[in-house]
Structures are given as structure tokens and as C-alpha cells.
Amino acid sequence: MENIAEIRAICESIGCEYRENVPLCRYTTFRIGGPAPFFLLPRTTEEAAAAVKALHGKVRIVFLGKGSNLLVADEGVDAVVIHLGQNFSDVEVDGETLVCQAGASMSKACAAAWKAGLSDLEFAWGIPGSVGGGAYMNAGAYGGEFSQVVAWCEHVDEAGKIGRFVGEELEYSYRKSRYSGKNYGITRVAFRLEKGNQAAIGARMKELFQRRREKQPLEYPSAGSTFKRPEGAYAAALIEQCGLKGLRVGGAMVSEKHSGFLINTGNATCADVLELIRQVQQRVREQTGFVLEREVQLLR
Ligand SMILES: Cc1cc2nc3c(=O)[nH]c(=O)nc-3n(C[C@H](O)[C@H](O)[C@H](O)COP(=O)(O)OP(=O)(O)OC[C@H]3O[C@@H](n4cnc5c(N)ncnc54)[C@H](O)[C@@H]3O)c2cc1C
């Protein structure tokens, strides 16, 4: 970043909590990643909007949720990171609508839905991200995905204007939304749910969580499934078929338990993971013809 003094002065003038040189490995489930030169923690949507407006055109801005789908470069990021965390974690039930601030965890949202006897969010129980990250990614599991339940998202656009996308305007498709590739900040998400049976909702959540525990290497840092599901196949099955379980580069390894997960065995770097991704993609392409596209977002 060339204009550090200018960006520092702007960050100081915004009035929200900000820190410098924050190691992002502390904010990612992979436990990998160098520093963010500037790290902002706005308290309100208006504060986030003011920050974006002040920084617009001067520096790249990246919104960070719970870092559960991120691979951050070892040398850190050339951007101001805006983290919607604790300050954005309210969840409210309004009839059959669940309105969540973007930094709320998926587990908090799912628990609130269960408590209110609202169904259709059970699939997301156990996804370790934030509601905002899920809305960005169109996160999904076990036949459900955000696109089926999101009514609207409130955001701060790239120029700092507060707006909303409703229903079809979100342009959801597999692990994609209208926000993909943009630097909008999602600040609130509303889910349209259905009245259901609380005991049945709880039982379904428990069952799905159990499946995760049995199938996924939750004891290791990772970012979940590394690759998207290619048309007509499953990434994990292809990787296993190619004999790549346990393949290692440095501290990064293809999980023995779930070959769709690349895990950090303790001291993996971003470079290790990227090289492992490259090798897996190459071997799968050569041996099966399928092209594996990365689902995990690379942040540099
Ligand atoms: C053990 C494990 C299991 C997982 N299981 C699943 C699963 O079943 N299904 C699934 O879909 N995913 C799964 N994931 C991946 C991940 O949890 C999801 O993609 C999740 O939705 C990411 O949310 P996050 O808050 O962590 O986003 P982050 O990782 O912080 O960010 C991901 C992307 O979203 C953007 N983003 C985040 N928050 C905002 C915001 N408020 N406004 C704008 N952009 C934002 C970021 O800039 C980035 O591009 C799993 C991950 C792990 C580690």
C-alpha cells in the first residue's frame, strides 16, 4: 500500500475502532494468513457506510465475516479489512421472518429459528460462518441453500450507499450471489421461514450435525470443502478416486477423513495450500477429465 499515511488519517477520522497490522490467521478457520494493514470494526451500518465512503477510490476494501471460507496470503492483504463481528450479531424474530445482522453466526441464527419454531434453516446448522458470509457465498448443505430462504439483504455498496437487494435481485446460483466479486458489505439478512414443529426441527439439526462430525475433519483447521462440485460429479469422490487422500505439501494435506477438505496439519502456509490445490486440480484433470474450481476465496 503506497498511501499508508493518507489511509491512516482517514481511518482515524472515521471514529470507529480500528487496528493496524492485524494477523488474519487469527480470523480464519484455516489459521493461515498474514496481516491486514488496517482493520476496522464498525459498530453500526451507518459507521460502516461512512468508512466505505471515506475510503472509496483510495484503497481496496474487503469485508470479513468469520473467515471460514478464506485462504489469506502469507504476506497479508493489500486492503482495508472491515470486520462485521461482535458488533453486528443481533438476531430478531418477526413473525415468520428472521432478521439477522451480518456478523451473527449461522449457529446463532439457526438456534433462534429453532427456538421460535421456524423451519427451513436446519441445513445451515454447523456451517461455521457468519450470516453475511453465507449470504455472499450462497452457502448450502444437505439439499438446502441460502437462496431458498433469504428474503432480502441490506448492504453498503462500493461507494458507501446503504441499499437492499430483494428476492430475485440477489441473483443466486451455486455458491454465487450478486455480491460475488464485488466489495459490497452485507450488513443485514432476512430469512423467510415457515412455522414448523420445534421438536422435529431440533431433531433434524441434531442429525445433520452428527453427519458433519462423522464425515468432516473438524479436529483440524480448514476452510471446509476446498472445491466446488463440478457438473455431474462430486469433488471429494474424484479426489479419492485419484488416490490423493493424505497428499501433502508442507503442512497442508488432503484430509484422510474427507478428501474434499484440505486441512492445516499445524504449520501450513498459504503457499503450501495453493500448491496442494494446484496438484490436486492437475491430477484430477489428467486422470478424470474433470476441472475442479476453487470454492475457497483467496484473499491477497
Ligand atoms: C468445517 C467447515 C465446514 C463448512 N461447511 C460448509 C457447508 O456445509 N456449506 C457451505 O456452503 N460452506 C461450508 N463451509 C464454508 C464456510 O463456512 C461458508 O462459505 C460460510 O458461508 C462463509 O462465511 P464466513 O462468514 O466465514 O465468510 P468469510 O470466510 O469471512 O468470507 C467469505 C467471502 O464472503 C465475503 N463476506 C463475508 N462476510 C461478508 C459481508 N458481511 N459482506 C460482504 N461480503 C462478505 C468475504 O469477503 C469473502 O469473499 C464450511 C467451512 C468449514 C471450515
Per-residue pLDDT of 109-157, as tens digits, reads 999 999 999 999 999 999 999 999 999 999 999 999 999 999 999 999 9
Residue nearest atom 9 of ligand 1, based on CA coordinates: 140
62 CB near ligand 1 (under 6 Å): yes
84 CB near ligand 1 (under 6 Å): yes
Q: CATH number of the domain at 88-200, please?
A: 3.30.465.10
Q: Rg of the chain over CA atoms, in angstroms?
A: 19
Q: Could you tell me the three cell numbers for 264?
A: 492445516
Q: Could you tell me the three cell numbers for 137?
A: 457465498
137 CB near ligand 1 (under 6 Å): yes
| Three-state SS letters, 47-95 | HHHHHHHHHCCCCCEEEECCCCCEEECCCCCCCEEEECCHHHCCEEEEC
**pLDDT value at position 22?**
98
For residue 299, the cross-strand partners are 72
Residue nearest atom 5 of ligand 1, based on CA coordinates: 127
- Out of 40, 45, 69, 145, mutate this one to test ligand 1's pocket (max ligand atoms within 8 Å of CB): namely 69
Nearest atom in ligand 1 to 68's CA: 26
Residues annotated catalytic, as ranges: 175, 225, 295
**Cα gap 296→206, rounded to integer Å:** 26
Per-residue pLDDT of 270-287, as tens digits, reads 999 999 999 999 999 999
Best CA proximity match to 267, nearest among 255, 279, 250: 250
Per-residue pLDDT of 177-189, as tens digits, reads 999 999 999 999 9
- H helices then E strands: how many in the chain? 7, 19
**Cα gap 35→190, rounded to integer Å:** 32
What is the fold of 217-299?
3.90.78
68 CB near ligand 1 (under 6 Å): yes
- The yes-or-no answer to whether 4-83 and 88-200 have a common fold is no
Per-residue pLDDT of 181-216, as tens digits, reads 999 999 999 999 999 999 999 999 999 999 999 999
- Out of 77, 127, 184, mutate this one to test ligand 1's pocket (max ligand atoms within 8 Å of CB): namely 127
The domain ranges of the chain are: 4-83, 88-200, 217-299
Q: Using an 8 Å Cβ cutoff, are 279 and 82 in contact? A: no
If DSSP codes are grouped into helix, strand and coil, which group holds residue 287? helix
What is the fold of 4-83?
3.30.43
Per-residue pLDDT of 20-77, as tens digits, reads 999 999 999 999 999 999 999 999 999 999 999 999 999 999 999 999 999 999 999 9
**pLDDT value at position 230?**
96
